[in-house]
Amino acid sequence: MTMQVRTHSNVTHIDFLPIAELQERLPSKAVIVTDDIVTELWESPHRRIVVPAGEASKSLHSYSQVVEQILSLGIDRNTIIVALGGGVVGDLAGFVAATILRGVTFLQVPTTLLAMVDSSIGGKVGVDTPQGKNLVGAFKPADQVLICSEFLDQLPARQLTNGMAEVWKYGFIGDAPELNKLRAGQAPLTEIIFDCLDHKARVVEEDEFETSGLRATLNFGHTVGHAIEKVLGYETFLHGEAISIGMAAEARLGELLGITEAGTAEQVKIDLASAGLPVDWDGLRDFEPLIAAMRSDKKATGGKLAFSLLTRLGDCKLVRDVDDESVQAALTA
């Protein structure tokens, strides 16, 4: 299976292939950026930069270290940076590729379900800061994404469930047939990955730089989810788990605001729980630090909160100037 994502700045070629063919698809000039867990999963003769696994590596400090290590290799403009790992590695390596020598070729080899269905395409790369998630970065679409679903065979069950949060998100925001397919539980995983990538590709092609509000719909659940991650220091919950709690909370918020069709929040909660994902957290009742964290969200303007909210299952829109009282009510419901 293959597909392309065509934007005004780039064409990303996406290929599904067996892991046995991966070696021959990576050029000799490639420098692989990976983490200390993934590096044990696949051997190759290519030069490697290895960072500790986990969100802590998505930082300016790690970025600086990786850049210095790559520069010490004596690279040139023909060097290719390859991200081999999950979303953290992809975002970090992509930011390096966007900025080193003012930009070099970038390839993504996602090894987690979450990265395969979401972060490996679209071009958003960057790092976190103490002020919030993804606040320093760039748009750097990968020139190629190579998807080897066999990597998923080596994922812990919790990581697979974690990735399913983003899969369900696609169904909630704009793909009702995908919801039916997920509820039936019979679609092959490669088909689910392809469907999710096809959905995101269509959104990115129309709104690459998130100017029309369409691409912001991909952030359903993320305003609350990112706030949870920040308040907890990126510990306790995996990214998809935090987003799952965020989707349940933001569905409630949409209903409270009269934007979301009644009963939608309950169905979102049922669907996520059926996938083994968390839909609540006691810390939501301590709403003040969460709302403070939301103010650093990139969608917020002039101190006013913004959310990507469902109008119904299968449809979503960006809603600005949401008042704190409604957010508090949704978090504490």
Active-site annotation holds for 102: yes
**Domain map (residue ranges) of the chain:** 2-154, 157-332
Average pLDDT over residues 214-235: 95
Average pLDDT over residues 278-305: 93
pLDDT of amino acid 212: 85
The residue ranking higher by pLDDT, 132 or 70, is: 70
In this chain, the answer to whether the domains covering 2-154 and 157-332 adopt an identical fold is no
| pLDDT score of 177 more than 80 | no
Active-site annotation holds for 58: no
pLDDT of amino acid 178: 80
Active-site choice (58, 169, 239, 299): 239
Active-site choice (133, 140, 169, 226): 226
How far apart (Å, rounded) are the C-alpha atoms in residues 30 and 144?
Answer: 13
pLDDT category at 9 given cuts 50, 70, 90 is confident
Active-site annotation holds for 210: yes
pLDDT of amino acid 180: 87
Minimal CA–CA distance to 1: which of 10, 12, 11, 14? 14
Active-site choice (58, 140, 199, 210): 210
Average pLDDT over residues 136-155: 96
Active-site choice (166, 178, 208, 241): 166
Q: Are 239 and 87 in contact (CB under 8 A)?
A: yes
Active-site annotation holds for 219: yes
In this structure, what token pair is assigned to residue 170? Answer: 């696609």
Active-site choice (58, 133, 140, 222): 222
pLDDT of amino acid 302: 82
Active-site annotation holds for 166: yes
pLDDT of amino acid 213: 87
Active-site choice (200, 230, 298, 299): 200
Mean pLDDT estimate for the chain: 94
Average pLDDT over residues 217-246: 96
CATH class name, domain 157-332:
mainly alpha
pLDDT category at 58 given cuts 50, 70, 90 is very high
Average pLDDT over residues 74-98: 96
CATH class name, domain 2-154:
alpha beta
Active-site choice (133, 215, 269, 299): 215
| pLDDT score of 300 more than 90 | no
Average pLDDT over residues 124-130: 94
Average pLDDT over residues 281-293: 96
**What pTM did the predictor assign?**
0.93
Q: Are 211 and 278 in contact (CB under 8 A)?
A: no
Render pLDDT for 28-42 as a digit per residue (tens, 0 to 9): 889 999 999 999 999
Average pLDDT over residues 143-171: 96
48-57 contacts, C-beta under 8 A, 24 or more apart: 51/89, 51/92, 53/88, 54/88, 54/234, 55/88, 55/128, 55/229, 55/234, 55/239, 56/234, 57/88, 57/89, 57/92
Active-site choice (219, 230, 241, 250): 219
In this structure, what token pair is assigned to residue 99? Answer: 């900025």
Active-site choice (8, 24, 43, 102): 102
Average pLDDT over residues 131-150: 94
How far apart (Å, rounded) are the C-alpha atoms in residues 98 and 265?
Answer: 39
How far apart (Å, rounded) are the C-alpha atoms in residues 326 and 287?
Answer: 11
Active-site annotation holds for 199: no
